[in-house]
Amino acid sequence: MEHAKRAKVACKSCHARRVKCDAAVTQPCWHCQVRGTPCELIESRRGKYARKRGLGARPQDQVIYSEKVSAPKPRHMPTLQTMMEENRWEHAPSLGQPLTPPTTASRLEDGDPEDDQLRDGPEMLYARMVDSQPSESEPNFQAENARSFYMGESFSLPFVINSIYNNPGQGANVKRHYPIPTSVAEHARDAAEGLKDSDPATISYLEMRGAFSLPPRDVSDELIRVFFKSFHPAYPVFDRQAFCALYRQGRVSFLAIQTIFFLSFTSCSDSLLQRAGYQDRLTARRTCYLRAKALYDMNYEKDKVQLAAVLFLLGFWWEGPEDQKDTWHWLGSAIGLAQTLGMHRSTANSGMPPRHQSMWKRIWWSIYTRDRHAAASLGRPMRIKDEDCDIEMLNEGDFLVDQNFDNQLLGDQHDFHVMYAIEMSKLAVILGKVLTVQFAPRRQEAADNRDSLVQELAELEIRLPLRLRRQPVDESLDSPFWSCMLHACYHHCQILLYRPSGARSAFLSEAQEEKRAMVAADLTTRIAEDLLSAGTLSFGQLHLVPSIFAALSIHAVVIRRKDPIRRQLAENRARQCMLAMSELARSWPVAGWILRLFINLMKKLTGQSVGCDSAPSRAKPDQTGDSGFESPSATVGSGGTSAMQMASGGYSFGSSRLNHVREQDKLPRVKPCEVFDLIGGTSTGGLIVIMLGRLEMDVDECIDAYSNLAAAVFGEELRSRQFNFKGDITARFDSAKLESAIRKVVEDSGASKQDLFN
């Protein structure tokens, strides 16, 4: 059996004290660093004298050794670099394992058995921690790949260390993160990697799972770009500078890259999806997820910090309601590992480099935010307790530590990205308080608690940076888009704080709070409308789904009321939210489950069919570009859901859209209500929705009715004017005229007011 690889020589100080020395790995050695003593190597006599052959040596021993050294080398894990050199880029996705930093075993030559005691195993970790207490003045994390060990207050080991090394009268050492001595860390890493490399069954299994398959390099680059453009700004868990360097060198972790691909396929374009070799989004996501999961199950990743980030990202997987390893499972694993590392505690006195401290904060606050979002959306307890944490809040400096990256590969980092991550973390803290005050089983009923939360929410909104205030949304993913993401979560907090306890409010105070919940639901619906109109809803973050779900819940309560006007408005807004859900379901399957629920619920509330599972072969018009009609379909349950949206616009704009559909023969002599499961619209487009949906008009009838309505409200001169009401162009009208014109449309259609509002 081969001997473990050993250090060549110890320093004079460690040799005199007869303690383990890692001077061959890094100099000064760990002991000399923490004691502040010079680190001088002793002169080794190894190889400078003739060795006597052992009396018991046998010739066959030499043969066995010769056979051993000439035996075939074990299979090693492929890397991105080797995959590139072997030209194994394939159209089926995923990348690979990092070439891990050079270890002691890979750098040093074999020594003699007599030097084995100079090398520490993992069982020596606690013993090395008490050899000497690290001083505050000496840096303890000098190596780039330094590993740390977290020791909390109740752990007896830090109590012993502090009691021994603190001078009488001094306060307790607040340090909780300690560097793992290099020789211990290297020994543990070498042992694990050696086992993996000598196990061909593990590598064969991963190859069989496709864990080392890659898309073409240009496709890989674009998928990376999609991730860092649409997802990483919200959850900045990767060191962009280090990632770029490793990716260009072909050394980035396969586990990390597979997870990135899984999330990129969530929102990438259909053309990129096909170039990667997939026909549908769900298959692409599932393939990359299963490959990442296989790598994780085989203990592929040794860097625990990166592993915490990857586990967090795997928490965005959720295929079915009964998945065992769903978002809740992976998020819990990420939280557990992060707390094991001590990411929830302040690293101000740890001796870590500022870059490492900032990355820990970014990872922790991403995990913290998702913990609050998941607890709110699933009705489950928060795993992270605020009283257990003293980590500092994010600041702008935490996003400057990894600025030297390839902008062409990852895209730019803008100031509004930084602002969003910071403000969302602050909002997550408030969301956690809302969940505790409103829904904790042992909550204390106190009006002061709710009032303070109302005040905190108001102050957060007032202090928002200008670039995160609500502003018109365009087709880019600039500050208006991220403002929508932030405000959707903000309004979700308001709904959770104010939503009614039942269908009716018995007290005046409850009625006032209910109105606030209704306003928050309306504002959430408007965000969904804006993103739909801009075509950027598919890039929306996962927390949009529970936010829109919460708004739909409020709309459903209002629909049950007897007020016909409010009921009709709530019904139209609910349809708009359902339309948004159908679009989000293309990226996040959980939105499809909610959509199916509300299709059935709306049928019960309104008495009309909103969705139909019995017509799987119904026509689904194509998306018509400049026309106002869109038909985003989402696979929900066993059937599909086709939807049409009419965006806001003036008379000529809305009428021209209807004409376009008729001229392109998209709906020949067929009523839209017979083709689409959902028909939604914004602003004046909502009038067309009523005509096509509730009044069941065909396109020709709707054009005539809409033209007559516009003439009655805006005047005859608008018939010949060719413009639409977008941006700063507005038109004034008399609300009484609009109401009268709508009534006339209803009467001319043969429907009664009772039919319309029931």
Q: Is 512 helix (H, G, I), strand (E, B) or coil?
A: helix
- When pLDDT is averaged across residues 165-181 and rounded to a whole number, the result is 58
- When pLDDT is averaged across residues 68-81 and rounded to a whole number, the result is 50
Q: Are 627 and 661 a contacting pair, CB within 8 Å?
A: yes
Q: Which residues does 92 contact at the CB level (< 8 Å), separation at least 6?
A: 210, 213, 215, 277, 287
Total number of domains in the chain: 3
| Higher-scoring residue by pLDDT: 622, 80 | 80
Q: Tell whether 551 and 676 lie within a shared domain.
A: no
Backbone angles phi, psi at 366, to 5 degrees: -65, -45
Most confident of 22-36, 635-649, 703-717: 22-36
pLDDT digits (tens, 9 = 90+) for 632-650: 333 333 344 555 655 544 4
DSSP class of 214: B
Q: Tell whether 581 and 641 lie within a shared domain.
A: no
Flag whether 599 is in a domain: yes
pLDDT of 583 strictly over 80: yes
Rounded-to-integer distance, Cα 394 and Cα 385, Å: 18
Q: Tell whether 465 and 554 lie within a shared domain.
A: yes
Can you tell me which residue has the tokens 């050993």?
6
Last residue of a domain, one of 47, 71, 95: 71
pLDDT digits (tens, 9 = 90+) for 415-443: 999 999 999 999 999 999 999 999 988 87
Flag whether 64 is in a domain: yes
Q: Tell whether 689 and 745 lie within a shared domain.
A: yes
Q: Tell whether 551 and 621 lie within a shared domain.
A: no
Bridge partners, residue 150, by sequence: 177
| Higher-scoring residue by pLDDT: 232, 52 | 232
Q: Tell whether 510 and 656 lie within a shared domain.
A: no
Q: Are 587 and 538 a contacting pair, CB within 8 Å?
A: yes
**Closest Cα partner for 263 from 144, 93, 413?**
93
| Higher-scoring residue by pLDDT: 220, 63 | 220
Point out the least confidently predicted range of 126-135, 403-412, 464-473, 720-729.
720-729
Predicted confidence at residue 508, as pLDDT, reads 53
**DSSP per-residue codes, 241-285:** HHHHHHHHHT-S-HHHHHHHHHHHHHHS-HHHHHHTT-SSHHHHH
Last residue of a domain, one of 610, 643, 673: 610
Residue 132 one-letter amino acid: S
Q: Which residues of 633-651 are buried (b: 16+ CB within 10 A; e: fewer)?
A: ebebeebbbbbbbbbbbbb
- When pLDDT is averaged across residues 355-380 and rounded to a whole number, the result is 96
Flag whether 35 is in a domain: yes
Rounded-to-integer distance, Cα 288 and Cα 490, Å: 32
Q: Tell whether 623 and 697 lie within a shared domain.
A: yes
Say if strands 643-646 and 678-681 run parallel, antiparallel, or are unpaired. parallel
pLDDT digits (tens, 9 = 90+) for 599-627: 888 888 877 655 433 333 333 333 333 33
28: preceding bond cis by omega (within 30 degrees): yes
- When pLDDT is averaged across residues 270-280 and rounded to a whole number, the result is 93
Backbone angles phi, psi at 425, to 5 degrees: -65, -40
Predicted confidence at residue 567, as pLDDT, reads 87
Backbone angles phi, psi at 144, to 5 degrees: -65, -35
pLDDT of 676 strictly over 70: no
Point out the least confidently predicted range of 265-269, 546-550, 577-581, 714-718.
714-718
pLDDT digits (tens, 9 = 90+) for 208-237: 999 999 899 999 999 999 999 999 999 999
Max intra-chain CA distance, the chain: 116
Predicted confidence at residue 92, as pLDDT, reads 35
Predicted confidence at residue 118, as pLDDT, reads 42
The share of the chain scoring above pLDDT 90, in percent, equals 38
Q: Which residues does 167 contact at the CB level (< 8 Å), separation at least 6?
A: none
Q: Which residues does 406 contact at the CB level (< 8 Å), separation at least 6?
A: 244, 248
pLDDT band of residue 69 (cuts 50, 70, 90) is very low
Most confident of 190-204, 250-264, 309-323: 250-264
Predicted confidence at residue 377, as pLDDT, reads 94
Q: Tell whether 600 and 650 lie within a shared domain.
A: no
Q: Tell whether 589 and 656 lie within a shared domain.
A: no
Rounded-to-integer distance, Cα 152 and Cα 628, Å: 59
Mean pLDDT of the chain: 74
**Sign (positive or negative) of CA dihedral 152, 154, 158, 162:** positive
Q: Which residues of 583-616 are buried (b: 16+ CB within 10 A; e: fewer)?
A: bbbbbbbbbbbbbbebbebbeebbeeebbeeeee
pLDDT of 171 strictly over 80: no
CATH number of the domain that 23 lies in?
A: 4.10.240
Backbone angles phi, psi at 638, to 5 degrees: -100, -5
Point out the least confidently predicted range of 352-361, 590-599, 655-664.
655-664
Predicted confidence at residue 160, as pLDDT, reads 67
Q: Please enumerate, as own/partner, the contacts of 696-700 that have beta carbons within 8 Å and a separation of 24 or more.
A: 696/671, 697/671, 697/749, 698/667, 698/669, 698/670, 698/671, 698/672, 699/658, 699/661, 699/662, 699/667, 699/672, 700/662
Q: Are 19 and 124 a contacting pair, CB within 8 Å?
A: no
Rounded-to-integer distance, Cα 424 and Cα 416, Å: 12
The model carries a pTM of 0.69
pLDDT of 751 strictly over 80: no
pLDDT digits (tens, 9 = 90+) for 482-509: 999 999 999 999 999 998 876 555 455 6
Predicted confidence at residue 722, as pLDDT, reads 40
Q: Say what angle helices 327-341 and 304-314 make with each other, to 10 degrees.
A: 160
Flag whether 189 is in a domain: no
Q: Tell whether 605 and 635 lie within a shared domain.
A: no
Flag whether 548 is in a domain: yes
Flag whether 554 is in a domain: yes
Predicted confidence at residue 458, as pLDDT, reads 95
pLDDT band of residue 320 (cuts 50, 70, 90) is confident
Most confident of 100-114, 460-474, 662-676, 723-737: 460-474
Rounded-to-integer distance, Cα 264 and Cα 583, Å: 17
563: left (phi over 0), alpha (psi -120 to 50) or beta: beta
Flag whether 687 is in a domain: yes
Q: Tell whether 592 and 644 lie within a shared domain.
A: no
- When pLDDT is averaged across residues 260-281 and rounded to a whole number, the result is 94
Last residue of a domain, one of 40, 71, 102: 71
Predicted confidence at residue 746, as pLDDT, reads 77
Q: Are 288 and 296 a contacting pair, CB within 8 Å?
A: no
Point out the least confidently predicted range of 173-187, 239-253, 329-343, 614-628.
614-628
Flag whether 465 is in a domain: yes
pLDDT of 96 strictly over 60: no
Q: Tell whether 581 and 634 lie within a shared domain.
A: no
Predicted confidence at residue 686, as pLDDT, reads 67
pLDDT digits (tens, 9 = 90+) for 189-210: 443 444 445 478 888 888 899 9
Q: How many CA atoms lie within 13 A of 507 on its CB side?
A: 5
* Residue ranges making up the domain that contains 600: 431-610
